[in-house]
A and B are shown apart, each in its own frame.
Chain A
Amino acid sequence: MPTAEKTLDEILTLAAAHFKVPREKLSPDDDFFKTLGIDSLQALDLLTKLENHFRVELPDYELQGVTDFRTLAGKIQIRL
């Protein structure tokens, strides 16, 4: 199982690539809706990418209120 830090780093890398923003512009505690400029449908698109990458299933209701990469990583980490 990857470490929590590695999971977080992979999420940041995936998000940067998917939404075509420089990786260095993303930080763990960023509000990803604001930093990436995305809406809820795009957030679900990111969730699909993350589920496919980590081979986990994360019910989207667990993302209610989640806005930063670090918390998102924690939600994924407990399902790895």
Chain B
Amino acid sequence: MNAGISRKGEAMSVEYKDGLIELALHRDPCNEIGSQSLEELESFSESLQSLKQPAHALVIHSDLKCGFCAGADLRELYERSHAMVKDEAAKGVRDFLERIHRVLNVIDAAPMTTIAAVHGVTFGGGFELALACDLIIADKTARFAFPELRLGLIPGFGGIPRLKRDIGNAVVRDLLLTGRSFNTTKAQQIGLVSQVVAEGEALRAARATAAQLAKFDHQTAVTAKQFIKPVPYEELKREIDIFCDLFSRPAVQAGLKKFVQSTDAQPYLP
């Protein structure tokens, strides 16, 4: 049985039932990924690699109204890196990135069909978590963005290689270089989102899709996934290097400080 994968953590909960694993994010204010979330994701990915029986699907979703995930915990990143000397901060960032990449690579290559059921804010690292999944099902409130350039960075959780894998380079450049957010309709037009549903219906649609997947031969589905969705390991490693090079620049610390200390009502507007 796979019941051992089920757990309730501070940042997320995992449930297993009848071949379907559901990972629910629930860390206030909007599922920002910091050290606590990373530890729980690592624990989850270890469980995913040691399932006693095959699961046919994994659905990742958020229990919070604000959305799927607002990305990396920038406050924690700033406070931790600010408290360290420069070399220690750089090492800490690289370590964090390598750990989150290991987790997302496991989800990306998981021997089951993975579905991100998203709504609301799906930014930065949250968008990257969704991109690691095989399918994205979004409700009409979902909004996607890679705002990292505003901080003098690039996405660091595998966003660019995975976006390049899924859509055309011109669209990647638009989303990355403008840092603009876009809605579900646009996301479906560019081929990122497979299903658009009414507000609040993404999880239900993901479960219905998972039920359909359960009808197929598991090994055939895994083989098909491996064939059509290679994990871009080399580019992912390169992304970590580029991110770390950029992170060492003073402009990044200034950008993080501005974001963290902002009392502006518009810090998420590029």
B-contacting residues of A (Cβ < 8 Å)? Answer: 33, 38-41, 43-45, 47-48, 51-52, 57, 59-61, 63-64
Contact = CB atoms under 8 A, between A and B. Distances in A.
Contacts of B66: 41
B269 A60 contact: yes
Given A44-B143, A48-B141, A60 B265 contact: no
B140 interface: yes
Nearest to B186: A57
B189 to A, nearest CB: 9
B111 interface: no
Mostly helix, strand, loop or mixed at chain B's interface? Answer: loop
Interface stretch (B52-60, B158-166, B174-182): B174-182
Interface of B: 30, 66-67, 70, 120-121, 140-143, 145, 178-186, 264-270
B265 A39 contact: yes
20 contacts: A39-B268, A40-B265, A40-B269, A41-B70, A41-B121, A41-B268, A44-B181, A44-B269, A45-B141, A45-B143, A47-B181, A48-B141, A48-B184, A51-B183, A57-B183, A60-B180, A60-B269, A61-B178, A61-B179, A61-B270
A63 B269 contact: yes
A59 B174 CA distance: 11
Given A41-B66, A41-B70, A52-B140, A60 B270 contact: yes
B270 A64 contact: yes
Given A41-B70, A45-B120, A48-B143, A59 B266 contact: no
Contacts of B183: 48, 51-52, 57
Mostly helix, strand, loop or mixed at chain A's interface? Answer: helix
B186 A48 contact: no
Contacts of B70: 41
Contacts of A45: 120, 141, 143
A43 B185 contact: no
Most buried by A among B30, B66, B270: B270
Most buried by B among A39, A44, A61, A64: A44
A39 B120 CA distance: 14
Most buried by B among A33, A38, A51, A64: A51
Contact of A44 (B140, B178, B268): B268
A52 B186 CA distance: 10
Q: What 6 A-B pairs are tightest by C-beta distance, nearest first?
A: A40-B268, A40-B266, A33-B265, A59-B180, A61-B270, A48-B183
